[in-house]
Amino acid sequence: MALGSVLLEILQRPTTGKLLSELLISVIPLWVAVAIGVLVGWVWKPKWASNLSKGILLDAKQGGEFSATTLGTMIPSLNILKFLPSCVFWAADDGGIQTDSFSVPRTLNSKCSSSKMEKEKSNLVMEDDLEHLCKLVEVKDGGPAWIQMMDRSTPTMNYQAWRRDPETGPPQYRSRTVFEDATPEMVRDFFWDDEFRAKWDDMLVHAETLEECPTRGTMVVQWVRKFPFFCSDREYIIGRRIWESGRLYYCVTKGVPCSSVPRRNKPRRVDLYYSSWCIRPVESKRGNGELTACEVTLFHHEDMGIPWEIAKLGVRQGMWGAVKKLEPGLRAYQKHRASAAPLSQSALMAQINTKVSADYLRSLETSISDSSEIEIQETSEKPVGHNVPKFLVIGGAVALACTLERGLLTKALIFGLARKFAIGRRS
């Protein structure tokens, strides 16, 4: 305000010479202050300033791009840029951040040789994974109690779902689905058949087999799944294998490292991924005593790079809509198989199982000491450690919305979901 008053007083003077002279007198102190500031700043120049200037010049010479990650490396105090939500860098196509366009490199499918499989066996699906799945199925893995989220049904399908929040890691989900008039073998092939999955799973935009072992049935596949419009698609490198005991099938799929497929900005790779299930015949709800129904007990968790509270809200709101797509897909698959159509390669691999005895499975069960619990119903009284105050939910939504560049529609959606979530937890 002081500088503005001085300029206003000068401009009110009638003489041009005095006007110019007093303007010059007013500007000189400003230039002196700027010169002193530049001199002092150059003498006390911090180390990161030199690194920053060298980095910009080096990127300019090499024709590269200067990224936030590079800036965080050169300026230690800005290392927090590395931990910003992933949606900041992958959400907007019009947000000004340039990323690689999606193109999945073609990779040669390789039948497993003993040397290669032995070299990478620690990265694939092994007996330890079978033991872990058995513990989950028997609810004796020692984890937190399961809280029931849903119990829905159709005339030919029953569905129940539970959730639990471990001390570390993303939320974990457990579900039990019973399909009427379906065999375990048909359901096993249905979930394994990537070629047919594209016909009923509209979130799957790409599936490719990277490696397969015809002796044990182990596979490494690449998936790219479509995510909501405010986040980029996600890439999965999945190792999977099936164990068989009579008509009981333990199907394990999990994220594994793969050096042959380079990482890209888009789609973003999901490293922490676990989705495994147990399939077995059960009695039909018709009460005729026949094992004409099939039960699938699924355990799933993954770190998608989305705040977990928002991910939990999305799962809760969209779970039944996604589950309802399973049964039409299964019935279409049954008709497809009844038409004597040739089996896809992934469906053929689903029939290569590692056989284990019932005694071996019982030995795994006897080695389990700790047990988890299943709560019958999700109530409004949550454990204290998992209560999220309303202001924290709204604040998180504000922070997320401010990082996105998708305009008012995205922000309105986020605020609406956050408000509904906060009200739901309060009521």
User: What is the reported pLDDT for 315?
Assistant: 83
For residue 188, being part of any structural domain is answered with yes
For residue 316, being part of any structural domain is answered with yes
For residue 349, being part of any structural domain is answered with yes
For residue 426, being part of any structural domain is answered with no
Backbone angles phi, psi at 395, to 5 degrees: -65, -40
What mean pLDDT is predicted for residues 327-338? 95
- CA-based max dimension of the chain: 109
Question: Which range among 90-99, 159-168, 264-273 shows the weakest confidence by mean pLDDT?
Answer: 90-99
**pTM exceeds 0.75 for this model:** no
Amino acid at 415: F
176 pLDDT higher than 90: yes
Domain containing residue 334: CATH number: 3.30.530.20
Q: Of 334, 335, 319, 298, which is closest to residue 178 (Cα–Cα)?
A: 298
pLDDT in tens, 286-313: 888 889 999 999 999 999 888 888 888 8
Question: Which range among 45-49, 86-90, 394-398 shows the weakest confidence by mean pLDDT?
Answer: 86-90
Question: Which range among 107-121, 136-150, 320-334 shows the weakest confidence by mean pLDDT?
Answer: 107-121
For residue 335, being part of any structural domain is answered with yes
For residue 412, being part of any structural domain is answered with no
pLDDT in tens, 246-260: 999 999 999 999 888
Bridge partners of 151? 160
Using alpha carbons only, what angle is made at residue 33 by residues 32 and 35, rounded to the nearest 5 degrees? 65
Task: Tell me how far CA of residue 8 lies from CA of 19, 115, 221, in angstroms.
Answer: 11, 84, 72
For residue 119, being part of any structural domain is answered with no
Distance CA 276, CA 173 (A): 11
Distance CA 251, CA 244 (A): 9
For residues 328 and 84, which has the higher predicted lDDT (pLDDT)? 328
> Containing domain of residue 272, as a range?
124-368
Q: How many domains does the chain have?
A: 1
Residue 398, C-beta contacts closer than 8 angstroms, at least 6 positions apart: 415
Question: Which range among 8-12, 38-42, 89-93, 372-376 shows the weakest confidence by mean pLDDT?
Answer: 89-93
What mean pLDDT is predicted for residues 169-192? 96
For residue 251, being part of any structural domain is answered with yes
3-state helix, strand, coil in the chain (%, to 5): 45, 20, 35
Distance CA 185, CA 368 (A): 28
346 pLDDT higher than 90: yes
Between strands 268-269 and 248-255, the pairing is unpaired
What mean pLDDT is predicted for residues 178-193? 96
User: What is the reported pLDDT for 237?
Assistant: 96
User: What is the reported pLDDT for 192?
Assistant: 97
